[in-house]
Structure 1
Amino acid sequence: MIEPAAPTLQERLDRAARPGAGKSPLGPREDDCIGVRFIDLAEREDYHTYAELRQGALTIARALRAEGLRAGDRVALVLPTAPSFFHAFFGALYVGAIPVPLYPPVRLGRLDEYHERTATMVEAVQARLILTDKRIRRLLGPTVERCRPALGCLTVEGLARSAPRPQMSDPRHRPRSDELCFIQFSSGTVQAPKPICLTHAQVLFNASQILEALLTTCPERDGWVNAGVSWLPLYHDMGLVGCVLVALAHPGELTLIPPEIFVARPALWLRALSRYKGTISPAPNFAYSLCVERIKDGDLAGVDLSCWRMALNGAEPVTPRALERFVERFGSWGLPREALTPVYGLAEATLAVTFSPMSKPFRWRRFDRALLTEVGEAEVLGPEQPAAAGQALVSLGGPLPGFELTIVEEPADEEATAHGGRVLPEGHLGRVLVRGPSVMSGYFERPELTARALDDAGWLDTGDRGFLYGGELYLYGRAKDIIILRGRNIAPQDIEQTLDDLPGVRPGCCVAIAIPAEAHRGEELALLVERATRANPAADDELARAIVRRVSERSALIAKRVEILEPGTLPRTSSGKLRRGEARLLLMTGQLVPPKKVTTLRMAGELLRSAVAHGKAKRAKTGRREAKPSEKKT
């Protein structure tokens, strides 16, 4: 357990800012200070030492104090991957406020949905301020008008200009390690995102376990220096905790690429790993597949991936195919097979829970599909048995030090908690429960949800289904996503993944759901599939038939309904995960429609609408201030 006197995140930044605190794999710097480099689309770097980031954070802290922000107040951060995020996040911490990272508006064709969701999250944590930059603020008007935070919507640039001089005030709050550090929202794949409360001790324990795993695998000796590279968004637990806070805990050098740039040019990720000698870089499963599909040999001239020792794969189901294809594709550029490291974690545990062995190649097994889906027992198929009868699953390893993991019987009611369920022996499929020092304190101001997730002994019901085999965790879907067809409990990912390499289908953009059957009582399989960006809509009927054939061949299931959708139609979480429950609801109510076309005229209209909304919110804020004296008199 972390001791009560463990340092806080602010103290970690203070330490990292000292000269000589860490090393760069590229050699000593003139000022002997390391930090974070930000890469743009042209691969130009903007380097900021931790000392400079700290100074920017203290400036914002003084400005926030002057604006009336108090210790314990929540601050919603809507910021890109840029120095401004560090200034705002740590600036809020320095004054004792609670930062709440939220995602910026990136799906411009779904801005109405964005404003509604973001305003709901701001209200859920009772944020007194939205802090953003001047570019994003131009689109946030409708969000601000809906939730109307007490201190309004301010920009990092504006606060930096208005901040009091350093000698006039010391804004720093001295928190205990058991105080609330920040609030991160769950991804919301099956429910609305939930506000997760994390203390300094919980966050630092998780970061220290990830760091320890890295240093055990790659000890820093004989000139070897570890460094991180990431394109993950900073509002996501894997990007913030797994990259930024792990780098601070070391401290080590970190290279950041905005996520939108990675999606546009995935080769920049591998090029940055090579150029800056990155040793650790996590990503979800889809990113490894995207690299295989989009990166050409010509993009990798001079690239050497031999330094990459921890290619963590988590945050969504890990597939054997993605791992094998990535190693096969990029092994020629020095990528070690053992670098691919499947992991398991969740926001309610801060981040990491299990790691597969990092000194060995990843492991996957093919289990008897019928036995697993009908009886709930895991039995490995022999090599003489047909591959079609098997369910390929990747080992996610064992718990990190300090964590416990157990599998219990699923409750009869899918809405019920699994706490108190019978503990299942190894090889039996059930609900995954975890316990450890970095498991959340609870959901902010949501005691009923907290009681459902956490029991009195500290066990967290993850909502995931899985089993232990050889002491290692194998996952098989989310409890609320499971499709039940003719007595079989099927994880939708098993169906969806069969279509990833089908021509005409947009990879990773398929949802398998159960819908009411027309010919009989019960449910039948429906597939919602986005057409590939360059595919011909006139061939949709042919594509639908090919989808039915593929699913039948690889999973022995018959899709009774196939909907071919425009790219971008399927609803997603802020981290890009598919929202299957919402997709089903939209389909059944006739509201599953493509996003609005993003045109210059439409964007001009959105900017005008936002400006009007900002004006309304500002007048309402002024009205509240003017009303205070009369309220006191009465």
Structure 2
Amino acid sequence: MAELPRCPSAGFAHVLRTRARESAASLAFRFVLDDGHAEEITYGELDRRARAVAINILDVTDGRPERALLLYPPGLDYLTALFACFYAGTVAIPAFPPGATRQPRTMSRLMAIIEDAGASLVLTTSPAAPMITDWLADSSVQPVPRVVSTDLADPDAHDLAPRSSGDTLAVLQYTSGSTSLPRGVMLNHDHLISNTADITRSFGLHAGASAVFWLPPYHDMGLIGGLLTPVASGIPATFMSPVTFLRRPLSWMRVVSRYRATHTGGPNFAYDLCVKRVKESDLVDLDLSSVELSFTGAEPVRPDTIERFLKIFEPYGLRPEAIYPCYGLAEATLLVSGGTRLGGWRSVSVAREALELARVARPATAGEPSRRIVGCGAPGPGTRIEIVDPTTGEPVPAGQVGEIWLDSPSVAAGYWRRPSETAETFGALTATGEGPYLRTGDLGFVADGELFVAGRAKDLIVLNGRNYHPVDIEQICETDVAGIRRDCGAAFAVEDDHGAVERLVVVYEVDPGMTEDQHLGIIDGIRRCVSRESSVAPYAIVLIKARTMPKTSSGKVQRWLARRQYLSGELAEVTRWQRLGAAA
């Protein structure tokens, strides 16, 4: 495997150039189309195309550094434009492209990103350019960015030396907005190189490895893990559209089997979707024996999901020890911690009452209400994790739950044009003055050197002096209540009219065509199981139409937005139950 450039001032374009010079004819990427056919590109061709587009960018900008929004469907054009930005010294801003229907939510997010980033360019393909140009003309964005069709770049453009270095801003990675409005995370080339090296080491990527991904390339997991890490490690990667996966979840496993991939992965919901949609016909001739590692992260990793997935796919060659829970976030580029490759995954069962009352991860005794939490391994070399009381800044003892703070070469430079939020999130100091640390906003604890993530601090529900994690309440509902849509619910707290008491609200999607009696049965089931298992009675339960729960484009439920829509009356309600005249 070719060595990457070791110079700390080399940017990621140098990484591609190294691959192109030493392995020009080797397969870099394969993109599987919806009909099963595939387009392929070698390292040499990817480098040539990226340089051609970079020269085009420099021509239209008179060589000035710019910020460019990348609006492409998943595919080789997007990949080429990304590396072209690296070559040209242009800041890449990956974003979910608008569809033909121009959904208001997507368009408003794009407008907010353009205005926040101050993007002067929109890079896209010639078929999409007229629609994007018309939309920008009709929007309130000022000044209007220039639309550039990168597939029209001169393929015979001359050579170009990379115009970026390690400390050059490479990407504005806008957060998914699962707990707040999206913010632009500033990633330099050194951050990308550092984190892809961590992933290469942690995942055990080697000369004979190959990867398969369906992850959206607009978010950290798909961008850093799915597109940049294969180039950094020099392995071929096969990717497909996330729309293809969502339509036919088992197409993921079929492509893994077809190309004998050694590495793959995705969020918890992806594994769950495969289990829910599996058909016998999808399993014919399936062979997953090549898989060395299948990571799961980006959202709470559920042990029951892993167990159900293995029950179906272990007979087809998937080894249990290949499952690899890990933890990361955009503010740390991507990966923070992971287990020992082929070391297997493990979970601990902690007493739910101790977790709720004192944030202590005490092992549960027999028959005691408990919660299983999956371990996400240990941080790699150079990364330091502290578990800290989020209120006092005091590091907490082992076994106690606190906010996860970290220090790493992969920690981003901050949020774009948000100095106060950058100082608060990226400049945290402990009570004794140690730091600065990145405040992740996640709660967790360390046991036997392994990190266990307990939930989001911002999602935490505090009722009657007890701390409840929304995921616990949602899991109770999804385990005990039939008729609700799994991974399509949100539990959150709202204040009473005096702002003195918080009340529990549970919102869930239901399938169309259900009767009023079925809705009432679901509400009664949620009331009973939540009251029984968590000792708190819901104040309100709202059933909403299928596919209307607010989610990020990567599939995470946006509890904060569900709460806002509940308060404003914007939920697509089917049935609502509310307990009148009583506090939560």
Structure 2 length normalisation: TM-score?
0.91
Is the helix fraction higher in 1 or 2? 1
Specify which of 28, 34, 42 is matched with residue 27 of structure 2: 34
Report what 2:73 is aligned to: 80
Q: Do residues 559 (structure 1) and 551 (structure 2) align? A: no
| Residues 356 and 69 (structure 1), Cα distance of their counterparts in 2 relative to 1, 3 Å cut | farther
Report what 1:181 is aligned to: 170
Deviation at 1:102, TM superposition (A): 0.8
Distance 1:54 1:344 in 2: 32
Per-residue CA distance 1:585-633 (angstroms, 9 max, x = gap): 11111122389xxxxxxxxxxxxxxxxxxxxxxxxxxxxxxxxxxxxxx
Q: Do residues 208 (structure 1) and 197 (structure 2) align? A: yes
Deviation at 1:35, TM superposition (A): 1.7
Report what 1:598 is aligned to: none
Structure 2 SS opposite 1:206:
helix
Per-residue CA distance 1:95-145 (angstroms, 9 max, x = gap): 11111101123695x822222221111111111111123454455444563
- Do the aligned residues in 2 keep the contact of 1:238 with 1:282 (CA within 8 Å)? no
| Residues 165 and 40 (structure 1), Cα distance of their counterparts in 2 relative to 1, 3 Å cut | closer
Structure 2 SS opposite 1:183:
strand
Specify which of 187, 191, 196 is matched with residue 185 of structure 2: 196
Q: Show structure 1 runs of 5+ residues with no match.
A: 22-31, 412-417, 596-634
Per-residue CA distance 1:256-301 (angstroms, 9 max, x = gap): 0100100000111001111111111120000010001102121021
Distance 1:586 1:512 in 2: 13
Per-residue CA distance 1:411-454 (angstroms, 9 max, x = gap): 1xxxxxx7xx1111111111110101110011122211111112
Distance 2:136 2:473 in 1: 37
Report what 2:286 is aligned to: 303
Structure 1 stretch 43-52 or stretch 201-210: which is displaced more? Answer: 43-52
Q: How does 1:378-393 map to 2 (within 5 A)?
A: 378-382=361-365, 385-386=366-367, 389-393=369-373
Deviation at 1:49, TM superposition (A): 1.6
- Do the aligned residues in 2 keep the contact of 1:197 with 1:442 (CA within 8 Å)? yes
| Residues 482 and 286 (structure 1), Cα distance of their counterparts in 2 relative to 1, 3 Å cut | same
Specify which of 369, 385, 389 is matched with residue 409 of structure 1: 389
- Do the aligned residues in 2 keep the contact of 1:183 with 1:196 (CA within 8 Å)? yes
Q: How does 1:122-521 map to 2 (within 5 A)?
A: 122-137=114-129, 139-140=131-132, 141-143=134-136, 145-149=139-143, 151-157=145-151, 159-160=152-153, 163=154, 165-167=156-158, 170-215=159-204, 220=207, 225-382=208-365, 385-386=366-367, 389-411=369-391, 421-455=393-427, 457-500=435-478, 502-517=481-496, 521=500
| Residues 107 and 467 (structure 1), Cα distance of their counterparts in 2 relative to 1, 3 Å cut | farther
| Residues 526 and 89 (structure 1), Cα distance of their counterparts in 2 relative to 1, 3 Å cut | same
- Do the aligned residues in 2 keep the contact of 1:69 with 1:97 (CA within 8 Å)? no
Structure 1 stretch 451-460 or stretch 77-86: which is displaced more? Answer: 451-460
Distance 1:69 1:93 in 2: 17
- Do the aligned residues in 2 keep the contact of 1:280 with 1:308 (CA within 8 Å)? yes
Structure 1 length normalisation: TM-score?
0.84
| Residues 533 and 39 (structure 1), Cα distance of their counterparts in 2 relative to 1, 3 Å cut | farther
Distance 2:123 2:515 in 1: 43
Distance 1:166 1:107 in 2: 33
Distance 1:520 1:121 in 2: 33
- Do the aligned residues in 2 keep the contact of 1:70 with 1:96 (CA within 8 Å)? no
Deviation at 1:219, TM superposition (A): 5.1
Q: Show structure 2 runs of 5+ residues with no match.
A: 430-434, 575-584
AA in 2 matched with 1:492? P
- Do the aligned residues in 1 keep the contact of 2:86 with 2:164 (CA within 8 Å)? no
Deviation at 1:15, TM superposition (A): 2.3
AA in 2 matched with 1:152? R
AA in 2 matched with 1:433? W
Distance 1:143 1:549 in 2: 50
Distance 2:475 2:65 in 1: 44
| Residues 197 and 71 (structure 1), Cα distance of their counterparts in 2 relative to 1, 3 Å cut | farther
Distance 1:491 1:107 in 2: 38
- Do the aligned residues in 1 keep the contact of 2:508 with 2:543 (CA within 8 Å)? yes
Structure 2 SS opposite 1:311:
strand
Distance 1:478 1:492 in 2: 9
Distance 1:8 1:460 in 2: 24
Structure 2 SS opposite 1:332:
helix
Distance 1:534 1:135 in 2: 39
Distance 1:241 1:510 in 2: 29
Q: Do residues 13 (structure 1) and 16 (structure 2) align? A: yes
Structure 1 stretch 446-455 or stretch 456-465: which is displaced more? Answer: 456-465
Structure 2 SS opposite 1:464:
strand
AA in 2 matched with 1:132? T
**Which has the bigger relative contact order, CA under 8 A and spacing at least 6?**
1
| Residues 70 and 556 (structure 1), Cα distance of their counterparts in 2 relative to 1, 3 Å cut | farther
Structure 2 SS opposite 1:592:
coil
- Do the aligned residues in 1 keep the contact of 2:206 with 2:233 (CA within 8 Å)? no
Per-residue CA distance 1:437-490 (angstroms, 9 max, x = gap): 110011122211111112273310111111112221111221111111121111
| Residues 557 and 135 (structure 1), Cα distance of their counterparts in 2 relative to 1, 3 Å cut | farther
Overall identity of the aligned pairs, in %:
32
Distance 1:534 1:504 in 2: 11
- Do the aligned residues in 2 keep the contact of 1:4 with 1:178 (CA within 8 Å)? no
